[in-house]
Amino acid sequence: MAQYLDDVSRTFSEYLLLPGYTGEDCVTDNVDVSTTITRYRGSEPEGLKLNIPLVSAVMQSVSDDRMAIALARQGGLSFIYGAQSIENQARMVKKVKDYKAGFVLSDSNISPEATMADAVALKKASGHSTMAVTEDGSAHGKLLGVVTSRDYRIGKMDPATRVREFMTPFDKLIYAREGVTLSQANDMIWDHKLNALPVINDSQQLVAFVFRKDYESHKDNPDELLDEKKRYMVGAGINSRDYKERVPALIEAGADILCIDSSEGFSVWQQKTIEWIRENYGDSVKVGAGNVVDGEGFRFLADSGADFVKVGIGGGSICITRETKGIGRGQASALIDVARARDEYFEKTGVYVPICSDGGIVYDYHMTLALAMGADFIMLGRYFARFDESPTDRLIINGQYVKEYWGEGSNRARNWQRYDMGGASKLSFEEGVDSYVPYAGPLKDNVEMTISKIKSTMCNCGVTSIRELQKNARLTVVSATSIVEGGAHDVIVKNNGNQNLG
């Protein structure tokens, strides 16, 4: 007969943390929320790390290059969605890596024979007001000048005016030579009161720009997630179908870590994908796998060589896998089980394989619960979809600003590879919905608030690191009545919106 588990399938809302002793040193400024995201042996240095334990989901409506840059600024990581052509995904990865090297590859280039109308259109398309004027209009052509929005006046100049007539020519530019250090370049920017400093080689070809705003951005965002070359870090999603073509392109583009994006990871297809990566790249390419909901699934992927394992099936806000297939497990129960298996695996093998909680987050405090239950980091879709930086449109629905949000298993995404069971190359039925989420504004403001809440709760628990939280947290199951007690009750809540008090 079928096997039955004795435990109830529980969600985060069914648990609360108990406070611990808070000492004098347990203040939010002392709390470290950095976390490891790739496997390591106990005697070796830990693997890749995040400065905050948040990553954005491998979803079309969440993670593109703009989201990746914004999240890396705050110390997290995006996994750029894979339900697109290999070329487009690799291009997004490269945009992130080129964006923040201190030395930025120019993506707004124009030829001297182009017109003011061309310059205006380029600014609108790229969002950048500084344009390099190169002989052939390419990013590495011979630099002839620079155009900024201060060099032309819309409505006062003929749109057909050639760029060469209003650009700042090369002989009037302040520039640096290839080989200049970032510190030296920033000194030149400040000494000459520049917004952008072009860097050229001995043949006068453009190499890169250094921007004042990047220097100031780093001062405003001290937790930026950077690689050894001072570039933003970025992940990318892959599938178990075209990985032999997709992985090389993503690695060439500079992806720091990959993630097999699948609704269910306890499969031979993921094993084959990881094996191919190990055979061709060894341990140099980092790849996570999943999703699983129990210790058996975790051990399978850990033994297969996954660098991290994602936990959760059917708990996403737009996921209907449980409804359509009856597969899954309450996210809290799944996470507790897998975390126990992760710790046992570490004790047995000496290899620590981080786990990522994916799904089931409704409130910010659920994130702290997930970390306390053993998650090393958390993958979020709906949370990030609400922000300015997500790739979807902002709309007004019933007088409220919203952003579009759809699942990878929806007909809109048609990401059949994510639900691949080795059959036909198509999506047989939907496992996700097309929806809206309330618009929440800029990512930076929201993430800073969320991290403040996590740190504050950790102080209440008497811990100052995620590892301490996992070791020392005390949790209790709550009844339905106590859940009601935990919110505002037995009062008339004031409406703080605009009211007609006449």
Active site residues: 319, 418
DSSP annotation of 411 reads T
260: three-class secondary structure by DSSP: strand
What amino acid is encoded at 160 in this protein?
A
Burial 247-275 (b: 16+ CB within 10 A, else e): bebbbebbbbbbbbbbbbbbbebbbebbe
d(CA 489, CA 186): 56
Q: What is 38-74 written as a DSSP string?
A: S-EETTSPP-SEESSSEEE-S-TTT-SHHHHHHHHHH
Cβ-based neighbours of 344, under 8 Å, separated by 6 or more: 295
Phi, psi (5° rounding) for residue 387?
Answer: -95, 165
d(CA 438, CA 387): 9
Phi, psi (5° rounding) for residue 169?
Answer: -70, 165
Q: Is 193 left (phi over 0), alpha (psi -120 to 50) or beta?
A: left
Cα 269 to chain centroid, rounded: 25
Tokens of 177: 């030579």
d(CA 207, CA 211): 13
